[in-house]
Every structure is written in structure tokens, then in C-alpha cells.
Amino acid sequence: MQAVVTTPDDPNKLITREAPEPSASPGHAVVRVRATSINRGETRLIPSRPNGWAPGQDVAGVIEVPAPEGGPSAGTRVFGLAEGGAWSELVTVSLENLVLLPDNVDFVQAACLPVAGLTALRALRALGEVIGRERLVTGASGGPPALLDIVLRFGMHAKGEVLPSLVSGCVCTWAVPRARRKR
């Protein structure tokens, strides 16, 4: 399989090369990567990582090899957060970090969600109680509507509406005014 890894021999410090295929292990499935994203934190790590380090955390794809004890079966659409190596054709991902991908969310949208979604979740939690309070999601013209769809599927009521506004020169195209748990 092809994988992107660090190397001191390239001016960009990255090359694509043949790498061994990962294998499933207890609690971990192998995902065939259909889309991944590049996060600033990963790009900042590249110069300081050892030769052969495989970057990439955000992953969307299909289960290639299920975990031995169960979990999603081969061919199931998933997205999640890898511990590294998502800039490869195949990557091993913990079942705890995988989510089933709804059919109406494409792989590219889903690949933008894990790190950005966790960052947004941490920010919302830092703001305190969100039930009944308005929250503006900035720069949210792509992934957050897909994230809202996934939230709805996992037991949350949420209402989103388009509220075009200008914040620091950046057009904001989506907001979540209210969210509450299903009873």
C-alpha cells in the first residue's frame, strides 16, 4: 500500500512510499481510506518527527478488515480519529474512535470532522451549558451541517439555521441556536 511518511531527504520532509499493510487487532479495525484531511497541528509536527513517521488523524472510509471481536463489518462506511497514518491507503483505527457514516454524508465532508469537531466540542463545553442558548459556528459552510446530521442520529435534538453574518472579515454561514437531549 502507499503511505505518506516523513523523510529528511525531501525539501518538504514528506514522501509517498510503499508501506506494510496494517492488520486488525483486538479493539482495532483496518479502514480503507477514502478521504482524509490535513490539520495545522500535524503539519507543524512534520519537521520534528523521526524518519518514517506517518501523519494523519482524520479518516473517512470503509472497513477493510473488522476487529477480531466484532464491531463494524467489512464494507461499512465509517469516519473517525486515527492515532496516525491516515495519509495512507489503509489505517488501523480504534473502535472507540470510529463512528458509522450516514449515507447522506460524503467521505470528504466526514474527513473534515474528527479533529475540527472535537475542537468545536471542547470549545462548546468550555462555554458551559448550551441547552437553550445560541451558538454561532463560524467558517461552517461544509462540515458542521454534516456533523449536525450525525448528532441528530445519535440521540440529540438540534435546530440549525443559516444565519449569514460577517465576523472579522469571515462569512459565517451556519449556526446552531438550540440543542437538547431526546427523552
154 and 84, same domain (yes or no): no
Given a cut of 90, whether residue 11 has pLDDT beyond it is no
49 and 15, same domain (yes or no): yes
pLDDT mean across residues, the chain: 78
Place of cell 472497513: 63
What is the DSSP secondary-structure string of 85-120?
-TTBSEEEEEGGGEEEPPTTS-HHHHHTSHHHHHHH
3 state SS of 147: helix
Contact present, 136 and 166 (Cβ < 8 Å)? no
Q: Can you give the pTM of this predicted structure?
A: 0.72
Q: Among candidates 42, 34, 91, which has minimal Cα distance to 65?
A: 91
27 and 69, same domain (yes or no): yes
Q: How confident is the model at residue 177 (pLDDT cuts 50, 70, 90)?
A: very low
Q: For residue 30, is it within any domain?
A: yes
88 and 31, same domain (yes or no): yes
Question: 165 has which bridge partners?
Answer: 172
60 and 132, same domain (yes or no): no
Q: For residue 114, is it within any domain?
A: no
Q: At what angle do helices 143-153 and 114-126 cross, to 10 degrees?
A: 70
Rounded to whole angstroms, how far apart are CA atoms 173 and 14? 35
Domain end (from 77, 106, 135): 106
81 and 24, same domain (yes or no): yes
Q: Among candidates 6, 35, 3, 34, which has minimal Cα distance to 17?
A: 3
Q: For residue 113, is it within any domain?
A: no
pLDDT (tens digit, 9 = 90+) per residue, 38-72?
Answer: 888 888 889 899 999 999 999 999 999 999 998 99
Please compute the mean of the pLDDT values over residues 23-50 and round it to a whole number: 92
Rounded to whole angstroms, how far apart are CA atoms 130 and 12? 42
Contact present, 152 and 164 (Cβ < 8 Å)? no
Contact present, 87 and 138 (Cβ < 8 Å)? no
pLDDT (tens digit, 9 = 90+) per residue, 162-171?
Answer: 444 444 444 3
Q: For residue 122, is it within any domain?
A: no
User: Which of the two residues, 176 and 49, has the higher pLDDT score?
Assistant: 49
Rounded to whole angstroms, how far apart are CA atoms 98 and 136? 27
Please compute the mean of the pLDDT values over residues 5-25 and round it to a whole number: 92
Residues spanned by the domain of 175:
127-181
Q: How many domains does the structure of the chain reveal?
A: 2
